[in-house]
Amino acid sequence: MPTEPLLTAESLHLSFGATTALDSASVQVHAGEILALMGPSGSGKSTLLHCLAGILHPDLGRVTYAGRDLTAMHDDERSALRRTEFGFVFQFGQLVPELTCLENVALPLRLGGAPRRAALRSAAAWLERLEVSDVAGKRPGQASGGQGQRVAVARALVTRPRVVFADEPTGALDTLNGERVMQLFVAAARETGAAVVLVTHEPRVAAYSDHEAVVRDGRVRAREHVR
């Protein structure tokens, strides 16, 4: 590849007690690229994603984001980076149940110091883009699974992050809903130029990626070998 990768994990090791979750895992993500992390259950996909996002700290190895060593950063510096540069979409449970969907989407902007009015306006535009304006005033518990995930995608993208981390974002949805979420998600990510690290075990979801990396036994299969 001609360009420098945006995000790099080099030889990550991480154990939970006696369980080795990552065993020299390395992977690169380029700007604007959609990378699917695939592999069997328990192989270390989520752990790798959390390390890449600076949520988990590897025992050994290094994570570099835009030339900065994430593993050597102070905690508050790392959380600031997560808030401003990264977005997150999980399988479910990521929205604050007490807030409306609109307020949920506005929340990351508010946390970043944006004025309330501007944050809400921007959030409304994102809900519209994800075709869920109708749930703006509802709480997440009153939205359907598919609607909830679209709200979550809107919330992940509202700050225009450079990387979105998504762990089984359609895992709880049926095929049709899952596909619609992926269509909207990927289209929006491409438009904003965000890279996406997408953990999925579903080939139809992985088909929205540009490349796949396969995690097995805590290691990533070298991408050079993938034709």
Partner 1 sequence: MTVAHTLLGLLEAGPRHGYDLKRSYDERFGHDRPLHYGQVYSTLARLLKNGLVEVEAEPGAGPERKKYAITDAGVSDVAGWLAVPEKPEPYLQSTLYTKVVLALLTGYDANDVLDTQRSEHLRLMRELTRRRDGGDLADQLVCDHALFHLEADLRWLELTAARMQQLAAQVRA
* DSSP labels, the chain: --SPPSEEEEEEEEEETTEEEEEEEEEEE-TT-EEEEE--TTSSHHHHHHHHTTSS--SEEEEEETTEEGGGS-HHHHHHHHHHHEEEE-SS--S-TTS-HHHHHHHHHHHTT--HHHHHHHHHHHHHHTT-GGGTTS-GGGS-HHHHHHHHHHHHHTT--SEEEEESTTTTS-HHHHHHHHHHHHHHHHHHT-EEEEE-S-HHHHTTSSEEEEEETTEEPPGGG--
Which residues ranging from 146 to 205 are in contact with ligand ATP (CB under 6 A)?
201
Give the x-and-dash track for 28-57 against partner 1 (CB under 8 A): ----------x-x-----------------
Q: Choosing among partner 1, ligand ATP, Mg ion, none, which partner's interface includes residue 47 (Cβ < 5 to 8 Å by kind)?
A: ligand ATP
State yes or no: residue 47 binds ligand ATP (CB under 6 A): yes
Minimum CB–partner distance for residue 113 and ligand ATP (Å)? 32
State yes or no: residue 47 binds Mg ion (CB under 5 A): no
* DSSP labels, 60-85: EEEEEETTEEGGGS-HHHHHHHHHHH
Which residues ranging from 100 to 159 are in contact with partner 1 (CB under 8 A)?
none
Nearer to ligand ATP, 39 or 161 (CB): 39
What is the phi/psi pair of residue 184, to 5°? -70, -40
Determine the Cα angle at 199 with ends 46 and 54, to 5°. Answer: 45
**Burial (Cβ within 10 Å: 0-12, 13-18, ≥19) of residue 14:** buried
Q: Which stretch binds partner 1 (CB under 8 A): 6-14, 101-109, 151-159, 212-220?
A: 212-220
Minimum CB–partner distance for residue 139 and ligand ATP (Å)? 27
Minimum CB–partner distance for residue 151 and partner 1 (Å)? 22
Nearer to Mg ion, 158 or 198 (CB): 198
Which residues ranging from 103 to 162 are in contact with Mg ion (CB under 5 A)?
none
State yes or no: residue 44 binds ligand ATP (CB under 6 A): yes
One of 1, 2, 3, 16 touching ligand ATP (CB under 6 A): 16
Q: Choosing among Mg ion, partner 1, ligand ATP, none, which partner's interface includes residue 42 (Cβ < 5 to 8 Å by kind)?
A: ligand ATP
Q: Choosing among Mg ion, ligand ATP, partner 1, none, which partner's interface includes residue 204 (Cβ < 5 to 8 Å by kind)?
A: partner 1
Chain contacts with partner 1 (rule: CB under 8 A): 38, 40, 183, 201-204, 206-210, 212, 214, 216, 221, 225-227
